[in-house]
Structure 1
Amino acid sequence: MFLINRNFCLLLFGQIVSQLGDKAYNIALMWWLLEKTKSPFLVSSFLVIAMLPELIFGPVAGVYIDRWNKKKILVVSDFVRGIIVLTLAILFQSELLEIWHIYVAALCISLCSALFNPTTMSVIPVIVEKDKLQQANALSQMVVGAVSIIGPLLGSSSIVLVGYIGVLIFNGISYIISGIAELFLCMTTIESQTEESVIYSLTQGFRFIRADMRVLVIVTVIAIVHVFVGSIVVIMPFLAKLLDGNGINNLGLLQSAIGGGMIIGAGYISKYVRKSVSELYLSYAIVCMGLGILALGTLQLIHIELVEIYVIVCIIIGSCIAIASVLWRTIAQLCVPAEMSGRVFSVFSTTGNISLPISIGIFGLLLNYMTPGLLFFVAGSCLMVFGVVLLYSNRKNFESIVKVR
């Protein structure tokens, strides 16, 4: 028996393979750049360049997602990314790989991702029945959690066992395998023959978001939650150093705990919250997420240094992140019409992609003036307040639960 159905199983299989390859690839390339250049600036600039196309062209990509055949977008994006990475492998093996090759590859892969990622979200409602949407999003989120645990371990161990060439080949082939799996998707998507200009189509997408209160709330949630959850990315390494034991081991434990929590949260919502989807539950998840981050700060401020306690809190935070992610995706998929899905989900992706680096920059700066414990306390308090305000300022909307039939 396939997970939910055959189509979703194929999509999920491709997601697992390609995301594992991505994790190993990113770790290998950053390490290679650091070894070759000895420059943290070049490593960080690589990360920035890898994000730029998605940030700049994300909303425009949504216009073309709504116009083109979505299955073709998935397949071609994966094949192109696979060819790019395998080309890097050939250059590396021939000792011709240069830093500018890495930068050009990062730009091209990011352009493909700007098309691929929103398309994946917009395809799920096409291949999954409405009453299975939440379960499908939960399974996808479980994959993200599992990859966040396995991926870094796979990346670091692969460099040791098979070297950079092995990691590049693995990631390139993972994209190709994902594309082959997507070739077997049985789905009907209509290619739009509209003569509207790109600017007009893009404007229509923004107007739809502004006019639909539920979709507008989701955009706001994505932006604000990413800002405060981004504090975890920045502060966690500094927190890990302050705890008992080895700092790098502590960091691995805490990051794995968040990934494990995401698996638990996605599994919980898949099994126990199937009959209805409501922003009410989304606001509760945000409040609990804020409480978890607040707890990290409080534990540090009262000088608790036992890493096991922090691991438990990180599991709770990861669970809340997964629950919130599954809920907003499902609500959006139920609210957004198919002909608008590419533009709307591209705006979602772009919003998250913009918020996270802003968060990293802000909290990275604040770490020069505040302790990790105090920063976690402030970030958690702000996120918790946002969740409470979201709940009570939109109470009437939250009472309108979408019954999934």
Structure 2
Amino acid sequence: MRVDPADKTDGFNLRARLDRTLIGVDFRRLWLAQAFSSFGEYLFASTSTVWVAARLFPHSPRLPALIGAVILAAAIPRIVVGPLAGVYADRWRARKTMIVNDCLRVGLFVALLLVVRLGGLDNAATFAAIVICVVVSETSAQFFNPSRAAIMQLVIPEDRRVDAASMSMFSLTGVAIVATAAGPAVFGLFGAQVAIAACVATYAVSCVMTVRVRDSYRPERRVVGRFWRDFADGARSASQAPTLRVVLIGACFYGVSLGINSSVLALFGLKTLGLSPSHYGVLAMMFPLGNLISAVWGVRLIKRIGVHRAYLMALSALGLGYFAYACAGRLVIACLLMLVCGVIFSVYIMCQGPILQAAVPEGYMGRISAVFGPLVSMTSAVSTLFASQVLAFAGAHGIIAGDGGWSDPYRLLIMFGAAFLLLGGASMYVVQARSGAKRAVQAGGCQRSSRIAGR
């Protein structure tokens, strides 16, 4: 019996097996860097909301507008800076860009910690400091994320991309759940200073993990010298490649559903279904729980049916899931359907990463990956505005939202967003079918030409 050299310690080398499970030591470090960086983002996002609502302006009539300003401060860098940052992510050394931006965020929150500790600021000035930190931190993330994606494209072997996507989905879902819950808890128990110090620690750990990644992963630079030419080159590459067009279409249609659901799902549960806050908390937990389940078990399904087919099926199935959820009338059924939607959404996300890594040419990952986040944010913002206008129109014409009937605006809006997901799945199928037929025709032409040349 041949003994694997990696298993010399009583036939079982734990570190070697861990390296194989986590694809490689550099992937593990990048994976941890992503997890800690995301933890800091979610932690401060949840902390800042509670900070403004419970401490700074608890009784202000402008509190909804102030909370909206914090959310808008996080969204603007994704929409405005994201596509531009991708160009620089392709120009600069990706590992160094990640390190610099982690150091920037460490310094930013250290400065905020000193400001809070020294005191002397009124509530308005403290609110301004929070908004500034949100804007700068999110701007830094727009450079960090595409740089990490560019390195990941080189670090992850082609046959392990689905596994890597599954692990990233699992960690990000867990991080989102824990950090979103931990932010208000830490703030309530220990105050703002401890919450900010926790953010400093997470970004510092992320920086250490990135520093330990080998510097040999350097994507080939494909730039033509001028910023806007590089930007246009990346956009042209994304629009001309059939596979990338499919992913772009899916992102646009998903953004519409996301914007509507972010405005309506909570109201549907609390008003239409008549749930108490505690029961709605159980319902809200079902979606991330489905994410975790799919991140563990969904890999087998994706590998069995193929990444591209699973991507198309997931978007359409997500539309059917939300449509069924809009028809739910009981808590148990709503919870089961939300769990199913979480499972399907996780499959959709796990397919997107490997598709991009396979389709994007080396040297373009920064520009192209930076397009998808802003695209989803823009379509989501437009659809959120649309949903708010529909609800305002319904209220002005005496249509009661949340009455539980089939004409309930909350129910109809969820169905409208679900229809967009179904339409997106159908559109993606048509684009993929046409591109496949075109490739088949081109291949047939090449074969005929070769036969003629052989004669």
The Cα shift of 1:36 comes to 1.3
| Alignment correspondent of 1:318 | 342
The 8 Å contact of residues 139 and 270 in structure 1, kept in 2 or not, is answered as no
| Alignment correspondent of 1:135 | 163
The Cα shift of 1:392 comes to 4.1
Q: How many residues align?
A: 395
| Alignment correspondent of 1:208 | 237
| Alignment correspondent of 2:359 | 335
1:360 aligns with 2:384: yes
Distance across 2 between alignment mates of 1:250 and 1:155: 22
Q: Which piece of structure 1 moves more, 290-299 or 2-11? A: 2-11
CA change 1:148–1:311 in 2 (3 A) is farther
Q: Which runs of 4+ in 1 moved over 6 A?
A: none
Distance across 1 between alignment mates of 2:128 and 2:74: 13
The Cα shift of 1:23 comes to 2.0
CA change 1:244–1:194 in 2 (3 A) is closer
The 8 Å contact of residues 246 and 432 in structure 2, kept in 1 or not, is answered as no
Distance across 1 between alignment mates of 2:224 and 2:120: 45
Amino acid at match of 2:38: Q
TM-score normalised to the size of structure 2?
A: 0.81
1:99-153 residue CA offsets vs partner (Å, 9 max, x unmatched): 2222222221122111112222222111111111111011111122222322222
Amino acid at match of 1:4: I
Of residues 411, 415, 432 in structure 2, which corresponds to 1:373?
Answer: 411
| Alignment correspondent of 2:44 | 25
**SS of residue paired to 1:338:** coil
- Structure 2 portions without partners, runs of 5+: 1-17, 395-407, 440-455
| Alignment correspondent of 2:289 | 260
The Cα shift of 1:57 comes to 2.1
TM-score normalised to the size of structure 1?
A: 0.91
Amino acid at match of 1:146: G
| Alignment correspondent of 1:403 | none
The Cα shift of 1:393 comes to 4.9
Of residues 25, 30, 52 in structure 2, which corresponds to 1:11?
Answer: 30
Distance across 1 between alignment mates of 2:238 and 2:431: 19
CA change 1:367–1:73 in 2 (3 A) is same
The 8 Å contact of residues 265 and 319 in structure 1, kept in 2 or not, is answered as yes
1:48 aligns with 2:102: no
Distance across 2 between alignment mates of 1:218 and 1:148: 24
CA change 1:244–1:222 in 2 (3 A) is closer
1:62 aligns with 2:62: no
The Cα shift of 1:256 comes to 1.6
1:232 aligns with 2:261: yes
Q: Which piece of structure 1 moves more, 238-247 or 366-375? A: 238-247
| Alignment correspondent of 1:217 | 246
The 8 Å contact of residues 260 and 417 in structure 2, kept in 1 or not, is answered as yes
Amino acid at match of 2:56: K
Amino acid at match of 2:33: G
**SS of residue paired to 1:339:** coil
Of residues 170, 173, 181 in structure 1, which corresponds to 2:201?
Answer: 173
Distance across 2 between alignment mates of 1:62 and 1:53: 13
Q: Which piece of structure 1 moves more, 246-255 or 127-136? A: 246-255
Percent identity between matched residues is: 19
- Structure 1 portions without partners, runs of 5+: 401-405
Q: Which piece of structure 1 moves more, 214-223 or 374-383? A: 374-383
Distance across 1 between alignment mates of 2:231 and 2:68: 31
Distance across 1 between alignment mates of 2:278 and 2:149: 35
1:349 aligns with 2:373: yes
Q: Which piece of structure 1 moves more, 367-376 or 323-332? A: 367-376
1:37-90 residue CA offsets vs partner (Å, 9 max, x unmatched): 332212211221222223112222111111111011111111211221121122
Query: Which has the greater radius of gyration?
Result: 2
| Alignment correspondent of 2:104 | 80
CA change 1:75–1:251 in 2 (3 A) is farther
